[in-house]
Structures are given as C-alpha cells and as structure tokens.
C-alpha cells in the first residue's frame, strides 16, 4: 500500500519575487544550483505559459537512493503560483506560492504525494521519519542554492 506524505516548506529570501519565481519556473536549470537535483529533462513543452508541459526529475539526497518522477504543470499565475501533478515513483501534487513584501520574497511549497516504490512502502513504518528528514534537507539545499544563484540573503528556510 502506498504511503502518503504531506510537506509544507517555507523560504524567506531577500530578493525580488520576479527573480525567485523565474528561478523556480525554469526548472531545467535546477541541477546547476540545487544540490540534490540530479537531472531534469523536458518531455513536453506545453503551451505559451508552460501549461501541460512535462518534465522528468531525478533527485538524490543524503540517503542512498534516488527518486525519479514526472511533473506536469497545471497552473501558472505569473509571480504568484505554480502547480503541478506528479506521477512515477512519486504521485500527487506540488504547489509553489510566492509573495513579496518589503523586498523579501516568501515562498511556500506544498508537496502532497504517495510513494510508488515497493521497498519504500514496505519499510515506511520504520523509515518515514528518515524520509521526512531527507525531504527537509533537500529543500534546505534548494533555499541555499537559490540564494547563492540570486546573490541574495536567505533569511529562513
């Protein structure tokens, strides 16, 4: 049986929302600045706003395994929201929210997925805390890499 995971990640970065949003939107570049992103491959381009575009993502972290899944962009509100549907080794939904106040961009990421890897589901009763820890590390790497890419101050993650 698949195991459910729900994460909410918060980043605060002293940078214009446009630059933060653009860096997140252009995920083909993530391997250049986001430690843990092994590969991003465009499978479908999507419309002029990227809607229905699909990309394959391969991730790794401190634990000795990788995850690969495809994301399909379902919503794109310029500088406010990006949402997509995941399928593959992870299945569910991910949504990025962006807001800028006084030169600080607040980023919130909601990740609601189930695992489709048999060993992960079989051992989830034992390893779920490690998987949660792992997710938080990868997201911290993203915040740190984004701040470095934008030459900005990371206030919190």
Q: What is the mean pLDDT of the chain?
A: 95
Model confidence over 97-106: pLDDT tens digits?
999 999 999 9
Distance CA 48, CA 39 (A): 23
Query: What confidence score (pLDDT) does residue 92 get?
Result: 97
Domain count, the chain: 1
Q: Which two tokens stand for residue 8?
A: 């909410």
Distance CA 112, CA 116 (A): 13
pLDDT of residue 17 exceeding 90, the answer is: yes
Distance CA 63, CA 151 (A): 29
Q: What is the CATH number of the domain that holds 13?
A: 3.30.530.20
Sorting pLDDT into bands at 50, 70 and 90, what band is 25? Answer: very high
Count of alpha carbons within 13 angstroms of residue 100, beta-carbon side? 13
pTM: 0.94
Domain membership of residue 145 as a residue range? 4-156
Query: What confidence score (pLDDT) does residue 1 get?
Result: 73
């Amino acid at each position: 049986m698949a195991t459910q995971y729900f994460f909410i990640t918060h980043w605060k970065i002293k940078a214009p929302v446009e630059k933060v949003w653009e860096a997140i939107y252009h995920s083909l570049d993530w391997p250049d600045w986001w430690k843990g992103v092994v590969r991003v491959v465009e499978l479908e381009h999507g419309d002029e706003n990227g809607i229905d575009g699909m990309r394959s993502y391969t991730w790794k972290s401190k634990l000795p395994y990788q995850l690969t899944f495809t994301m399909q962009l379902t919503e794109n509100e310029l500088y406010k929201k990006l949402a997509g549907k995941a399928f593959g080794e992870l299945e569910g939904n991910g949504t990025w929210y962006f807001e800028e106040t006084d030169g600080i961009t607040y980023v919130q990421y909601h990740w609601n997925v189930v695992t489709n890897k048999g060993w992960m589901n079989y051992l989830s009763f034992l390893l779920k805390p490690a998987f949660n820890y792992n997710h938080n590390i990868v997201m911290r790497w993203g915040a740190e890499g984004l701040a470095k890419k934008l030459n900005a101050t990371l206030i919190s993650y």
